[in-house]
Structure 1
Amino acid sequence: MSMPSLPTEATRRAALRWLSELRVAGVPRVQALFTHHPRYADLTPTQYAEGLAWLRRTGMVTAMGCPVVEISDSELRDMGTAAAGPQVQWSRAAEEARRAIGAAGEQALLRLLRWGGVPQVSHVAAESDAYGYDIGAARSLTERAHLEVKSTTDPTRLVIHLTRHEYEVMATDPEWCLAAVLVGRDGNAVNVATVNRRWLHSAVPADKAKEGRWESARLEVPVYAITPGLATGAWRLLPDTLLPSQPVWGLQGPVPLPV
């Protein structure tokens, strides 16, 4: 069965607006809003229709028009969508929203690991940020993973914020793994995937002078660097059948990790 392809930028913007407006109104009312209000005139009715169709194909909006994920106003501003006004680089509300989504993603992944029968699971981020990852998990002495969890409610693209400390831990810890979690409206995981370490190494900024260094990087992850499930090296922490998987972020089924 073919999976929905990566949406165009116009389809992505339309989908985000649908997710925002469907929180308070049904499909016919939102459709009328997009058609007649000048604030939304930068996209065509066809593009809005494609955005809604993509959300329905991926299961992000039910047949009754209810969103499965919820895009907050602060996230929309951070994404710089025209529907939400000018782009905001930082705000307290946006930071608090990101923290809440991050905490929800960590808790959702903890539940999946424990429900899936992983013998040893520890939420180290609850103790300290010094570890450079959020969750320690092990199936055996040789199958261990240190999971850095990046959470989002945006099904159209995967954007993560990586700190310098997390990157430096990744560079020295072979068990470090970046797990991406799409968080649903109920706080549970809608999708779990893994971001390739080689790509992360290639994507972070380079320090160009000894007087300055980057401390945090915002990275938009391409589909070829995303693998469905928890692909921790040559083995998987949980079987794919135990993990939720929606065709989001442009995923069209398993994508082999680059060698």
Structure 2
Amino acid sequence: MPSQATEATRRAARRWLSELRVAGVPRVRVLFHNHPRYADLTPAQYAEGLAWLRRTGMVTVAGRPVVEVGDIGLEGAAVPCVRWSETADAERRAIGAAGEQALLRLLRRSGLPYVRHVAAESDAYGYDIEAARSPDERVHLEVKSTTDPTRLVIHLTRNEYEVMAADAEWSLAAVLVGSDGEAVNVATVDRGWLHSVVPVDRGRGGRWESARLEVPARAIRPGLAADMWRLVPDAMLPRCPVWAGQLTG
């Protein structure tokens, strides 16, 4: 089975995905080997980053990325550089919508008799999709979508967390969206891990409303499952090991 990607491999992979948008593999390799900006990693680490992307199907044999990541910015800066723009916000919303639609298609193709896209009606539910195969077997899915195969970073709102805490049927599905808008990978994030890492309000004068969480491989379960049943058969799901070497079988 594939080994877990190291932090250096993941960093190299993110750089490959960014630079391969505008140049081919030979030119990018020369850039990594010669430009001082990229000297913190060795040629061997860059080679492993590209090999990992190819093993997981994130880069084609011809060297074209299957998924895209945004500009990485100042890696390793002491103070993170946070930028907001209307265009970037629209892109994030588009990725989120694509992930929801891709998951809806998978659920409906799996033959579930009841699938409802509640996020199209209101944001107040605290989840995006309701699905069931019987009155006693249903799930409320919060969908988090990304185009980055090297790490899984999600933003959890206070409302989503409070619904999770009160709703035993709530589940968080992570969707890696490909350039064609389809799901490249689907996984479930562990609820116990989410409970353990959300912020804590420290006084009546402050309250957290949204948390940015980087999900470790140990908190990512392959496939899409409620507590006791599989929403989508494993055979219908993409099988690419991504997100810090998360294995699918």
Same topology, TM > 0.5: yes
Equivalence for 2:142: 148
Pick from 116, 127, 132 the counterpart of residue 122 of structure 1. Answer: 116
Does the Cα contact within 8 Å between 1:145 and 1:176 map onto a contact in 2? yes
Which structure 1 residue ranges, 5 or more long, are not aligned? Answer: 255-259
1:64-103 alignment runs, 5 A limit = 64-73=62-71, 76-77=72-73, 81=75, 87-92=80-85, 93-103=87-97
Q: CA RMSD in A?
A: 1.7
- 2: CA distance, partners of 1:149 / 1:90: 24
Equivalence for 1:53: 51
Is residue 209 of structure 2 the alignment partner of residue 220 of structure 1?
Answer: no
State the 1:72 CA deviation.
Answer: 2.2
Pick from 106, 112, 122 the counterpart of residue 112 of structure 1. Answer: 106
Is residue 32 of structure 2 the alignment partner of residue 38 of structure 1?
Answer: no
Give the alignment's TM-score, normalised by structure 1.
0.90
Does the Cα contact within 8 Å between 2:240 and 2:248 map onto a contact in 1? no
Deviations 1:146-202 (A, max 9, x none): 100001111111111100000000111111110000111111100000001111111
- 2: CA distance, partners of 1:99 / 1:44: 36
Is residue 159 of structure 2 the alignment partner of residue 165 of structure 1?
Answer: yes
State the 1:6 CA deviation.
Answer: 2.4
State the 1:44 CA deviation.
Answer: 1.7
- 2: CA distance, partners of 1:232 / 1:121: 14
- 1: CA distance, partners of 2:31 / 2:49: 15
- 1: CA distance, partners of 2:209 / 2:110: 35
Give 2:98's aligned amino acid: A
State the 1:113 CA deviation.
Answer: 1.0
**SS, match of residue 92 in structure 2:** helix
Does the Cα contact within 8 Å between 2:222 and 2:247 map onto a contact in 1? no
Does the Cα contact within 8 Å between 1:145 and 1:232 map onto a contact in 2? yes
Deviations 1:193-244 (A, max 9, x none): 0001111111101111122111111111111111111121111111111111
State the 1:115 CA deviation.
Answer: 1.6
Give 1:91's aligned amino acid: W
Which structure 2 residue ranges, 5 or more long, are not aligned? Answer: none
**SS, match of residue 7 in structure 1:** coil
Identity of aligned pairs, percent? 72
